[in-house]
Amino acid sequence: PLATVLLDASGQASFTTSLLLAGNHVIKASYSGDASNAAVSATVIQEVDALIVPTLSAWMLALLGLLLATFAVRVRRNAV
């Protein structure tokens, strides 16, 4: 098993992980039962979406380079 968790006072259990990669994952939860409740298990398929990483277009990179170069020239002039 990936993890074993205890039930809280209301009989609920939860588990959080950041180990799953993007894609579909079959998750099975099982309860072993006790004197009052029968054992049970359930399976779900959970889809994890890929993290969206922002990217800069070519013109944005060029603009950023120009701004950084301009800033460097101004800093150099003020230092002299």
2 located within any domain: no
36 located within any domain: yes
Nearest of 12, 22, 16 to residue 3 by alpha carbon: 16
Quick check: pTM over 0.75? no
- pLDDT, tens digit, for every residue of 11-38? 888 999 888 899 999 999 999 888 988 9
67 located within any domain: yes
40 located within any domain: yes
Look at the chain and report how many structural domains it folds into.
1
Q: Flag whether pLDDT at 2 surpasses 90.
A: no
- DSSP string for residues in the chain: --------TTS------S-PPSEEEEEEEEE---SSS--EEEEEEEEEPPPP-----HHHHHHHHHHHHHHHHHHHHHH-
14 located within any domain: no
- pLDDT, tens digit, for every residue of 36-72? 889 999 999 999 998 888 888 999 899 989 999 888 8
Q: Flag whether pLDDT at 4 surpasses 80.
A: yes
What local confidence, expressed as pLDDT, does residue 25 receive? Answer: 94
Question: Which structural domain range is residue 38 located in?
Answer: 23-79
